[in-house]
Chains A and B, each alone.
Chain A
Amino acid sequence: MSLTGIFLILFLVEHLIGNLLLLKSDGGAAFNEFAHFMKHNPLIMVGEVVLFLGFIFHIIDGIMLVRSNNNARPVKYAVQNKSKVTSWTSKLMGPFGIILLIFLIIHLYDFFRYKYFAPVANMEGTDISDLAQLVYIKFTDPLYVAFYVISMLVVGFHIHHGFQSAFQTLGLNHKKYTPFIKALGFCFSVVITVGMSLIPLIIYYKHITLH
């Protein structure tokens, strides 16, 4: 879980930077150029397969972990643990994972549906897919925006525990560095949630103020 988790966290950095290009007021040209580069660069195409495998491993590993951990306690407590010290996010990693899996399926369905059937935009004389236009259209639906923002909140919760937990699992716990790792994980989860959520919110805001 820890290695694939860190790998997916690194992917999110790239994802967020790419998405922020959508906010540039150029009708989505920068984002389209970026998407075009990602689609045709052979290194990225290999990376896409590795990323897909990373998700698959993380998901299967997670399902197996939750199953075996549930089996480790066949008879549950009548009164639940009331210890206040542990973080609530750490106890809900499985449920968060399920929500994120549902989001991922919908997200990938949208992505692949449009990846090859997107309208055409023009970049310096060449025709490229106008993915940005699709995103702008998608985020005019308030329900879709809400679903997206809630999912990003869950991503944040998932990372809040996952980030520092990955280091602990790899045996990297040190008086000097662990407080820093925990703070960094918290900041990172906030940046991802806020950054990813701002994009649909701003697009939606622009849409309703225009119409």
Chain B
Amino acid sequence: MNLTLKIWRQKNAQDKGKMESFNVSDVSPDMSFLEMLDVLNEQLTRKGIDPIHFDHDCREGICGMCSMVINGRPHGPKDLITTCQLHMRSFKEGDVISIEPWRAGAFPVIKDLVVDRTSFDRIIQAGGYVNVNTGGIPDANAIPIAKKIADEAMDAAACIGCGACVAACKNASAMLFVSAKVSQLALLPQGQVERQTRVEKMVAQMDKEGFGACTNTGACEAECPKGISLTNIARLNREFFSAKLTSDNI
């Protein structure tokens, strides 16, 4: 396959950056999207051009590092997968593909397609933890909790923190991410100790980082590679209101 790529190039955080066109040839339909970029980067290196910088790590859809907006959609045209799981068979010969970084004030571009997502880390540091010693893996059914609740917590915990929700949201809101992290702990007995403080601190940090507010468009849910549901955002709102009403924190 031969493709035309329009890629965001930006030397550093201060640079203004712009879209640049590249032609890439000899792309196999069996390649992953990142492998296709590897091929382009080899061609660029041979020509003495600075290769395109992009984030990637596990390349199996579980680390949450890859972060590209492909043709206007985070993680590309297919649902429920990350960029690394997207294959070139999803594209046609001669296609023009635009590739941009996540766009959000709270995710500043470091270089090309690499953005700084430490704002997510700071939100987790603010409250996404448990202080009780949870010990080793408990025996099956040792924790008195309904299977349905355990499943809900597990579904929320599937969030890999890639930031596609922020990238997809027209308001660059981080509500889906924060709601998944709050939910996975609020649903389980181990998370009860800091339940109120957690939601207050994480929401405060989210606002401090400059993410937008949720207007319930549902774009985050539509683009989330792990299918995190909007019901988590409703739960976050419930947790937040109840904490604000009843917690001792002034």
The answer, among B104, B168, B236, for a CB contact under 8 Å with A83, is: B168
Interface size on A, residues (CB 8 A): 33
Contact indicator B210/A81 (Cβ below 8 Å): no
CB contacts under 8 Å to A, within B31-76, are 69, 71-73
A90 and B216 in contact, given A77-B100, A168-B233 (Cβ under 8 angstroms): yes
A29 to chain B, nearest CB (A): 44
Chain B residues bordering chain A, tally (CB within 8 A): 44
Interface: A75 (CB within 8 A): yes
Are B230 and A77 in contact (CB-based, < 8 A)? no
User: Is B29's beta carbon under 8 Å from chain A?
Assistant: no
Whether A73 contacts B103 by the Cβ 8 Å rule is: yes
Q: Is A151 an interface residue (CB 8 A)?
A: no
Q: Inside 8 A of B218's CB, which chain A residues have their CB?
A: 85-87, 90
Given contacts A72-B210, A73-B103, A173-B231, contact A79 B98 (CB under 8 A): yes
A75 to B15, CA, bound (A): 12
- Distance of A34 Cα from B158 Cα, bound (Å): 57
Query: Per DSSP, are chain A's interface residues mostly helix, strand or loop, or mixed?
Result: loop
B215 to chain A, nearest CB (A): 6
Is B11 part of the contact surface with A, judged by Cβ < 8 Å?
no
CB–CB B230/A168 < 8 A: yes
B interface residues, Cβ below 8 angstroms from A? 6, 8, 17, 19, 69, 71-73, 98, 100, 103-106, 109, 168, 170-173, 210-219, 221-223, 230-231, 233-241
Top-10 shortest CB links A-B = A173-B234, A171-B238, A72-B212, A69-B171, A85-B222, A171-B237, A79-B72, A72-B172, A69-B212, A90-B217
